[in-house]
Amino acid sequence: MASWLFKSEPDVFSIHDLEKRRREPWNGVRNYQARNWLRDSVQEGDEIFFYHSSCPEPGIYGLMRCSRTGHADASQFDAGSEFYEPAAKLEAPRWFQVEVEFVERWKKPLLLPQLKTCEALKELALVRPGNRLSIMPVSDAEAAVIKGLR
């Protein structure tokens, strides 16, 4: 079982939203590196840290789990969606989504400054300068450290 970290702007979709809805497609990812992980690597049962970005207190707010592996992101075919991708073909989807399910919301989030000062997490893509990935792998060792910090 692998671990991942997914970012979302809480104004758009937060851990509270997922807690209410329990399961949700993780769609709208429009970055090729992230797409490749969604398509090829994220497996059912993988644990995923839920990170809130672009908000007053960025950080990890809880845990979710992959409940369905990569499949075509439906929003690419929806002309009314902000994620519409005219060049995508049904038989050759360009963008992928996974389904996630709620696991737990942390009473106390693990905020970015804590993550940044942790020596054992200095290789984590999240805290590397200029990182812009919305989806990134987390090693087993890093996942253990994150859970230990909480």
Partner DNA sequence: GCCAACGTTGGC
The burial of 28, by beta-carbon neighbours within 10 Å (0-12 exposed, 13-18 middle, 19 or more buried), is given as middle
- Output the CA torsion sign for 97, 56, 147, 32: positive
By beta-carbon proximity to DNA, the closer residue of 43 and 54 is 54
Contact 104, 63 (CB under 8 A): yes
CA R_g for the chain = 15
Single residue of 2, 19, 31, 106 touching DNA by CB under 7 A = 31
CB of 68 to DNA, least distance (A): 23
Tokens of 49: 């840290």
Q: Which position among 46, 49, 58, 61 is part of the footprint of DNA (CB under 7 A)?
A: 58
Question: Does residue 141 bind DNA (CB under 7 A)?
Answer: no
Using CB under 7 A, which of 14, 27, 76, 134 touches DNA?
134
Residues interacting with DNA, by CB under 7 A? 7, 9, 31-32, 53-55, 58, 112-113, 116, 128-134
